[in-house]
Structure 1
Amino acid sequence: MNDTYSPYFEFDRETWALSRDLPSLTVSEEEFEKLKGLNEKIAIEEVTKVYLPLARLLHLYVTSFQNFQAKMNSFLSVPAPKAPFVIGIAGSVAVGKSTTARLLQHLLSRWDEHPKVDLVTTDGFLYPNRVLEAKGIMNKKGFPESYDINKLMHFISSIKSGEPALKVPVYSHLAYDVLDDQTLHVDQPDILILEGINVLQVNTQQPYFVSDFFDFSIYIDADEEDIRDWYIERYHMLRDTAFRDPRSYFHKYASLTEEEAIHTAENIWRDINAKNLHENILPTKERAKLIIKKGANHMIEQILLRK
């Protein structure tokens, strides 16, 4: 760790793994396989070396937050509604945000102090395809303008105010659209994990931002060339699996030849995902409380914790 002149405490993989006072939590191989992403070829040791220390750190933050809430309620003599500790997870498409979010949800729910951990993705707050098509921005899906920011802000402010029984729109990657007939119910969790490429972005049209409601934020980082390779690899895996389902929005790509599939994936990355990464996602990295840097093999190599 070399943090003398840095705004971060900087840890390499091995130093981070030596964190003391770790919980005696375990994740089985079967659980791990279900939690990790489609094309993330990582070993279960990633849990013990990286995610257990991170979960322990977050546990310290959460319990401190809960104690402060109790003291504030006593000081103000006003019983406030239960508000969750909110964790935001940001980063590029295909970088592994969902795996991090699911693993943290699984681990953090093991503590008696905060057993109820809900996970919400910002995909549900995208405008439906019919709206994107009407606005002429279907090819900008994932860009800031493709989200119903007012609906997202209403949700995050409502949950942070302690409002119970909230309904969150659900997004289907199969249909590539928000589902009209399904909602996710979020009812005063102890911890809320909000995961999405846009959670650390600022919007000059709004007086406040989604991240204003975060108690902790994480940015998943990797070299762009590696993320591009992961995206193309995942595209190929989906082409051979999910895209073959006639209900899939991308079913038309299932019959592409190997060469055509590579060309299509590279074009999508270059024209949409890389552009969004440079313009809207990567500039938010330094706004995160913690930055996780991955290597080419998906393994986490460095962790930066803001002082």
Structure 2
Amino acid sequence: MEQRTEEILSPYRVYSRDQWAALREDAPMTLTSEEVMRLRSMHDRLDIKEVEEIYLPLSRLLSLYVAATQRLFRAQQNFLGTEDTKMPYVIGVAGSVAVGKSTTARVLQALLARWPNVPKVDLVTTDGFLYPNAILAREDLMEKKGFPESYDLPALLRFLTEVKAGKRPARAPIYSHLIYDVVPNQWVEVDRPDILIVEGLNVLQTGRPPKDGKAVPFVSDFFDFSVYLDADEEVLKAWYIDRFLTLRGTAFRDPKSYFHRYSNLSDDEAIVTATSIWERINLVNLHENILPTRQRADLILTKGASHLVDSVALRRL
């Protein structure tokens, strides 16, 4: 009885995998198996079936939402008698380290860009808006990298403001996972896309509102739709350790890698090191900053240990 009451009062409708997959209806599959393989991150298990059953229904839903937003924009123009530039539809993708945000963002970008009207779809990660390591070290924040205080929030908000205002082009800094730092004087240009996907750990976070009622913009204020990727803590920890072990034998072997010192660790040493980093940094960030924002998302994709989505929760309108 208590569980039934929670379901009635919940702002979400929860669908099993099979129920959600049925909502694809006649949405065509526009990606090949080879393209799906290229889009996924090294430790993900994404395959074409996952795209068909999870991401095609989401693509169909987003096509309806985007069309409805465009109709509302035109209605507002008619009411105000204005001819403002059409604003891009912005989608946020949030979730823990190692949960698969990058793969989800890339798959969505590929699917949305192949809608019949061929929209321009850009993807930006908030990693580029981290403060450079020199600043983080000076402020004693290297152990807090990925926490809200490690980002240049004013710069990120300016970027999103420029995108929404139709400035061309808006520029976002580039982050290198090899050197574990922002790349100086390099930018990605976002030139009036129809859809912009913004992927990052803390993109759904808010702060304490001011008592004087003054406007305080949050990153999520610029989103038209948001997705949160979820999984149990122990599953996330296992995925993080697996990824660390894989990188130890690949990217970490590059002498330019910030983590090159880990490339010669034994299996046991690597597991101990990865576990320490997870518990000291990523788990704390998850508890304090990321997980509390889950209920702010429009859609929650919950994954099981297999990396596949088990259930989907869609916010009621």
TM class by shorter-chain length? over 0.9
1:48 to 49, 52, 57: 52
2:228 to 214, 219, 222: 219
Q: Does 1:267 align with 2:276?
A: yes
Aligned to 1:125: 129
Secondary structure at 2:217 match in 1 = coil
Q: TM-score, normalising length from structure 1?
A: 0.96
Ranges in structure 2 where 5+ consecutive residues have no aligned partner: none
Q: Does 1:277 align with 2:281?
A: no
Structure 1 residues 26 and 112: alpha-carbon distance in aligned structure 2, compared to 1, 3 A threshold: closer
- Distance between the aligned counterparts of 1:223 and 1:217, measured in 2? 20
1:23 to 13, 22, 27: 27
Q: TM-score, normalising length from structure 2?
A: 0.93
Deviation of 1:27 after TM superposition, in Å, equals 1.5
Whether the aligned pair in 2 keeps the contact of 1:82 and 1:188 (CA below 8 Å) is no
Aligned to 1:170: 174
Aligned to 2:245: 236
Q: Deviations over 1:29-50 (max 9, x none)?
A: 1101111111112332001111
Aligned to 2:218: 209
Whether the aligned pair in 1 keeps the contact of 2:24 and 2:53 (CA below 8 Å) is no
Whether the aligned pair in 2 keeps the contact of 1:115 and 1:190 (CA below 8 Å) is yes
Task: Give the stretch that moved more between structures: 65-74 or 265-274.
Answer: 65-74
- Distance between the aligned counterparts of 1:294 and 1:75, measured in 2? 44
Deviation of 1:81 after TM superposition, in Å, equals 1.8
Deviation of 1:73 after TM superposition, in Å, equals 1.9
- Distance between the aligned counterparts of 1:187 and 1:161, measured in 2? 11
- Distance between the aligned counterparts of 1:224 and 1:27, measured in 2? 31
Whether the aligned pair in 2 keeps the contact of 1:114 and 1:190 (CA below 8 Å) is no
- Distance between the aligned counterparts of 1:253 and 1:6, measured in 2? 45
Deviation of 1:230 after TM superposition, in Å, equals 0.3
- Distance between the aligned counterparts of 2:127 and 2:203, measured in 1? 11
Deviation of 1:72 after TM superposition, in Å, equals 1.8
Aligned to 1:288: 297
Task: Give the stretch that moved more between structures: 36-45 or 94-103.
Answer: 36-45
One-letter amino acid of the structure 2 residue matched with residue 271 of structure 1 = R
Whether the aligned pair in 1 keeps the contact of 2:36 and 2:46 (CA below 8 Å) is no
Ranges in structure 1 where 5+ consecutive residues have no aligned partner: none
Deviation of 1:127 after TM superposition, in Å, equals 0.1
Tell me how many residue pairs correspond in the alignment: 306
Q: For the aligned residues, what is the CA RMSD? A: 1.4
Aligned to 1:256: 265
